[in-house]
Structure 1
Amino acid sequence: MGSSHEAGEGGKRGTEGSGTMEPSDWAIKCFGAHAGQLTRAVPQRLRNAHVRALAGHAASRLKRNAKYGQILAEAALEELAEEAESLGGEVRLLGGRPYAIIADHALFPYRYANRKVPLQKARFRSGVSERRKRLYNAHGPDGWSAGTLFDVEGEQLETEAYLRLREAFEELGSQTRLVSVFFTSDTQDGIHQIHWGEARLEIDRTFQWERHEELPPAVEA
């Protein structure tokens, strides 16, 4: 499993529910003048997505929570895209889904558990799509080493397939870098925890974090 580098400059910033969170040096490096607003807005946007997903789950009248997770994944992308637009950034479509692009950084939200568990335990589910593998290998920190020609199931890749995984998506822009926004939530307690940073996808579907920071979840006003 990939290891994690703890956040510097104090780790978690601000206090839960406060509007006074200050951006880290890392956030400023990524997002420039928009870092402060994003640091405050990401938790609220994820809360908005949770509320939308909860409403959809209730309307479905299903006992299982599958609908909640499906809607939450889409709503999180949409909420972050709206935030990007409000900041003068861009929204680019990849596979028909909107991705927030701010200062050449794309935000990728991912709910990695339905309970509060350490970020180090985050991993993609089995059968992870080629698009996600390529997203991390082409736009994330340096992916699998040049000599590693294995996919996430451990099977050897042909050179052509391997190189395709490292080819940047034109839709996002060849220079666009990936910022992962990982969180946990459930229908009862909402968003438990949020981490954002730069993560490298490992061959076992876990992540090694070059840098990550914890953001306090937004609280109901």
Structure 2
Amino acid sequence: MLPQTVIDALSARLAALPDLRLPAQLRQGGASGERRRDYLTRLLQHDPGVFLERHGSELTADERRQFDCLRGDYEVQFYLRLLDEQEDAGKQAAVARNRRLAYMNRLEAEGAYFSEAEMRERQPGLYHHFIGQATAQPGEDKAAAAEAGPSFVRISEAEAQENAAAFLDTMRQRFLAGQDAGVDYAAIDADAELDEDWAAQQQQDAEDAYFADA
């Protein structure tokens, strides 16, 4: 059994969570903080495996380690292993995303991959949606605009810039999501050298934020 101090601490913290998963009889009519704590306390005392199944995702790594003394219980062991695997998967996903972001920053610095011409070639439909239907700018020949056809829309220069920025952001998000054909995402996700780029960017962002607040 878990030490009572651990049970009390976990029950008190989780009982305060607004979206705590509760049995139907407690959800009906609302449950007071005391009833929530009593429910969690009984569960921790008598069925820690069920507690982990229902509420394990709310625990911190340090809180999960408090259950190590119960690993002889098959159900407890099963859910602790499952929670550890989920945490590891989340960490791996975060590392992969950071590496893709670092690689994308390299591509943007080089200039070609995220140029308007190359993005248009990769995704002509998106280009048309954001930019292709509205290109008339101040000073443009009105006759040329008229020749563009009935689908042509005249917009301000500011709107054109907003559309271009939205197109670029969409293409960046597609890259990060692994949707660009021909990109070796497996190699990028496994490239530990990109971690240095990411760390440098984080440091630069922190310095920029510091001086901006100064």
State the TM-score, normalizing by the size of structure 2.
0.20
Give the number of the structure with larger relative contact order, counting CA–CA contacts within 8 Å between residues 6 or more apart: 1
Structure with more of its chain in strand, by fraction? 1
